Structure 1
Amino acid sequence: MKDNTTDNSELSLWLAFKRGDEETFIAIYQKYVNVLYKYGTQITSDQDLVKDCIQSLFIELWDRRERLGNTDSIKFYLFKSLKRKIVEELMAQQKKVSMSALEEGYRFDLVMPFEQKLIVSQAESEQKQKLSKVLEQLTKRQREAIYLYFYNEMTYEEVAALMSLKVASVYDLISDGLKKLRSSMNKIDFMYAWLLFMLLRFSSLL
Structure 2
Amino acid sequence: MTQDLQYWKSLKEEDDAQALKYFYDQYIKLLYKYGYHFCQDAALVEDCVQDLFLRLWEKRSTLGETNNVKLYLMVSLKRSIYEKVKKGSKTSTSEEVEDTFDITFTMEESMISSETDQINKEKLLKTLETLSGRQKEVIYLRFYNGFSPEEVSEVMNISNQSVRNLQASALKKMRSNMGDSLNLLVVGKMIESFFSNI
Structure 2-normalised TM-score?
0.83
What is the alpha-carbon distance in structure 2 between the residues aligned to residue 39 and residue 55 of structure 1? 14
Q: How many residues align?
A: 192
Match of 2:66 in 1: 71
C-alpha contact (below 8 Å) 1:53/1:82 kept by paired residues: yes
Q: 2:148 aligned with 1:168, yes or no?
A: no
**Alpha-carbon spacing, 1:9–1:142, altered in 2? closer, same or farther (3 Å):** same
Cα deviation, residue 126, structure 1: 6.3
SS in 1 for 2:37: helix
Cα deviation, residue 63, structure 1: 1.2
Match of 1:15 in 2: 9
What is the alpha-carbon distance in structure 2 between the residues aligned to residue 132 and residue 148 of structure 1? 17
Q: 2:23 aligns with which of 13, 16, 28?
A: 28
What is the alpha-carbon distance in structure 2 between the residues aligned to residue 171 and residue 96 of structure 1? 30
What is the alpha-carbon distance in structure 2 between the residues aligned to residue 54 and residue 46 of structure 1? 13
Cα deviation, residue 11, structure 1: 2.3
RMSD: 2.6
State the AA in 2 paired with 1:81: S
**Alpha-carbon spacing, 1:113–1:40, altered in 2? closer, same or farther (3 Å):** farther
C-alpha contact (below 8 Å) 1:42/1:111 kept by paired residues: no
**Alpha-carbon spacing, 1:101–1:183, altered in 2? closer, same or farther (3 Å):** closer
Matches within 5 A, 1:22-171: 22-95=17-90, 97=92, 100-104=94-98, 106-112=99-105, 114=107, 119-121=110-112, 128-171=121-164
Cα deviation, residue 130, structure 1: 3.3
Structure 2: gaps of 5 or more residues = none
Structure 1-normalised TM-score?
0.80
C-alpha contact (below 8 Å) 2:141/2:152 kept by paired residues: yes
- The percentage of counterpart residues that share the same residue type is 36
What is the alpha-carbon distance in structure 1 between the residues aligned to residue 130 and residue 95 of structure 2? 22
C-alpha contact (below 8 Å) 1:146/1:174 kept by paired residues: yes
SS in 2 for 1:153: coil
Structure 1: gaps of 5 or more residues = 1-5
What is the alpha-carbon distance in structure 1 between the residues aligned to residue 48 and residue 106 of structure 2? 22
